[in-house]
Structure 1
């Protein structure tokens, strides 16, 4: 029993090392630099060890994405904590969301841009994805009466995602982030 517990801890630690290393390489050099050969070299385990944990690079990127959703849920929860009004909560959440997308671009890509088998808004949606959506819904819910809050949350998410993606791609003026957030909040709250 003790040996089994130790083996499971070691297995979990190896899995986390693979995820962390993939994320680190992707953040520094882009996802195209993340290969099983590169990971094997970086973590000093053979490629077959990596394949014991993940079927391939897509699975590794999905694991990074799932961790990203956990982090995003925390970011949103922290952003709305201590706010006094719904508008203030949405403003801080929008700022925090855009900051997350800007400071963790490879994770954000894994979450939203890379092909994935993760299902959104489905019976088999991973709990980490549901938690991030739920945190955003908590921000949105106080904003309206008799609304379909899931749909309103999707609209807010789509707006934030659009702003993050367009900003990152250099398709928006970099010095107008505050104005865009203010306009978005005004449109959602009035």
Structure 2
């Protein structure tokens, strides 16, 4: 049996995502409107109060009056097959002997098409932080000139000559270098 309050919140979230809002903006709106987070909603259904203890710094326990919506929770909620009424274990569908998903309810909240459309929204907006468009991986490449090797400094601990390694970084006074071998580091000059 569906929870009408929860269904209304889920439908609101889906509508706002389709209107162009990000999951973070939707979460902010839900928090502003004091809509209970899934954790608080469940507590209220069980007759308990909102909020509770949560971890803080190591060895510390923080007491919260209520738990907030977060963009990650919205994505997890809307991309889980539980929304389709499927039973899950460890966020994976439970399947019967024929491989079909075991249903937990006869009334899924979205249709399969609506569920897939929301998944496509998240896929479109995903940021791939694993791959960048940068071709050089050394941030200071060709920004400083090594006086010992008379070549561009190539970055952190990059061998420039056999007798020393440059360790170049931005310091409080601009580019700084130290050498792991050889003479003390001479001042760097800006590359042309």
**Higher share of residues assigned strand:** 2
The structure carrying a bigger helix percent of its residues is 1
Say which one has the larger Rg.
2
Taking structure 1 as the reference length, the TM-score comes to 0.26
What is the TM-score when the length of structure 2 is the normalising length?
Answer: 0.26
The answer to which structure, 1 or 2, has the higher relative contact order (CA under 8 A, 6+ apart) is 1
